[in-house]
Chain A
């Protein structure tokens, strides 16, 4: 796993050479093993490398035979062995054993349709000298990031926004519309970011940048609506075969691969398949929480013993979560409404400290196989809507949310809350309605100036971004698409995935995000995936006999960490909160109304002092304000000059020569 950066200047006005060095140095955490740079005539491609495949030969950028097509690449093309055979049979010659080289030849053969052939998690940039085109591309689910911006006639791209900024050509300014999206939807709708004039390439998209213009095209869509009458046996056997194939592909690496174990079904299953597919000892990693409400160590230990893995875990305390929160925001490059990315950051640090760079993990099963409570909630609400007079149907909500119904006294009231708007089944965001409405409350806390500058409705923007056929889907399928299109790629895989793992140079590999697996499960009826209110019913059948019944039949335990209470209930947390809510800093940012925020903070603090429970809505607003203020301080505060390379860095530079002989086209130099 690596970082990429570069730029093209179509009028030839190239920025100074050190520009790319600063950009790459800002991505050092993603790829500390070496830096490769290609200086072309009107383009520069850079690469910060974390060596995983072809440890010696995998330097980038990499070229085709004629050296007129160059690529810089972050990620993995798992089916590179098969693709290479096909391309070699076609006459293409390879000079490394890396998966990167497959990309240039695939591009020569299939052009900008080449990503359709790739099975993997990737972001890459290809420069084609023949028609002076830059092709930027991102994997189907958006596991790996890539951002872009313009500075006059220069087009810049990079794995992270901080690298664009380090170029010295892209000053960072907050985008109020972008921030407003995050506060109300938890995430941005791609291509928007919380930064003005900095954009994300959406997942499953390719972008062509040339002197003739710029165009973005989707190359893959979530298969929705197409269902087949598969028998239960076909579903289970089919899924099992896809998981095994996906795991085998994801074990392709020249370094040892570890596995995360959360204690739940998904990661227990991916670890069990990993164990089955490898003959070498397996190392597993887990997060434990000091707070027993969030801790799953009992199940993690049981699974590790069963699989006979060498197991390491890290126990995370509440205060620690608060202390590392700013670091997670720096890594994620956006405000975070949850602290859950913080423990993941600490877990990847553990993985790295034990010498591992790659971990197999179980994200995506909840989205594609219907594991989340929100799907059950949608099902129950819709079920109630069919007979609004029923007194029995709403009782299902109590079964669904035992942890939200801690006081049985308020059960009827809780039911009324969850049944809000339940008859509006044609609402495009039926499943997310309660959450979206709850999040809207942050608007009451914006300053007058902020409110006057907001013109977009995040929900309308989101609706426009939904795939073709979205409105024809059932409420549960629409809820699923929203989860996949928004939270999976822009929050779970990013803030809680790529960013916090790559902050410690660790690459996650996602078994359930294999696109062939996704295409298979998309053909299965939702009622098979969730039988009644039994979540991930097919996956549980796959796991039967492989993992203990106690873990298999465990009710879905959402991965959560203490949010605002991490700050309210600990000394270090209170210092961070007080500093973030300091009136001077809030006036400087200008996003929030100081008096209103202070009033809310005082209320929450008095609740905390009385050991009361902070309401969901107060928690959400205060987390938004807190993380918004920290975000502002990190990215728009006094800037520190961007660093370049260190003297001991391994750097390989390739300069496009001026001599005519092909052998002299490129002159490579290595340092370090």
Chain B
């Protein structure tokens, strides 16, 4: 999957699950999901479940950090790397 597709899938998921009532434009790819109130302390469990299911790999404990999951940009980079592909913009 190309990174633009990954981005689309992730953005769609976030919009559908965590941004009900918000416009897609209200979140930029680099906005921190915690700071913006998109994810809370329990929401991350849902997000991890989704990533594992959708992209068919398991998220290792040490990977569960904001550097990997903290913004759309970080998520795309992380998923692309884990799924064994480089980032193709």
Contacts and interface: CB of A to CB of B under 8 A. Distances in A.
Interface of A: 404, 407-414, 416-418, 420-421, 437-438, 440-441, 444-445, 593, 596, 599-600, 603, 607, 612-617
A458 to B, nearest CB: 16
Interface of B: 16-17, 20-22, 34-35, 37, 39-46, 48-49, 59, 61, 64-66, 69-70
B49 A600 contact: no
19 contacts: A407-B45, A409-B61, A412-B66, A414-B41, A417-B39, A417-B41, A418-B41, A420-B34, A437-B37, A438-B37, A444-B21, A445-B21, A599-B20, A600-B21, A603-B16, A612-B46, A615-B40, A617-B40, A617-B42
A613 B45 contact: yes
B73 to A, nearest CB: 16
Given A612-B46, A613-B42, A417 B20 contact: no
A105 to B, nearest CB: 56
B42 A607 contact: no
A440 B37 contact: yes
B37 A612 contact: no
B44 A410 contact: yes
Given A420-B35, A596-B20, A596-B21, A612 B49 contact: yes
Contact of B61 (A408, A414, A440): A408
Nearest to B66: A416
B18 to A, nearest CB: 8
Nearest to B21: A444
Contact of A593 (B21, B48, B59): B21
Q: Is the interface of B mostly helix, strand, loop or mixed?
A: loop
Question: Which 7 pairs from chain A and chain B are nearest by CB?
Answer: A444-B21, A596-B21, A615-B42, A417-B41, A615-B43, A413-B44, A617-B40
Given A612-B46, A616-B42, A617-B40, A413 B21 contact: no
Nearest to B60: A409
A614 B66 CA distance: 21
Contacts of B21: 441, 444-445, 593, 596, 599-600
Contact of A616 (B16, B20, B41, B59): B41
B70 to A, nearest CB: 7
A638 B32 CA distance: 47
B34 A410 contact: no
Given A413-B65, A444-B22, A614-B42, 18 more contacts: A409-B59, A409-B61, A410-B64, A411-B64, A412-B66, A413-B64, A416-B65, A416-B66, A421-B35, A438-B37, A441-B37, A445-B20, A593-B21, A600-B21, A612-B49, A613-B42, A613-B45, A615-B43
A448 to B, nearest CB: 11
Contacts of A404: 41-42
Contacts of B34: 416-417, 420
Contacts of B59: 409
Contacts of A444: 20-22
Contact of A412 (B35, B43, B65): B65
A664 B35 CA distance: 72
A410 B37 contact: no
A596 B17 CA distance: 11
B59 to A, nearest CB: 8
A500 to B, nearest CB: 28
B46 A616 contact: no
Nearest to A606: B17
A421 B70 CA distance: 15
A412 B67 CA distance: 10
Contacts of A417: 34, 39-41, 44
Contacts of B39: 417
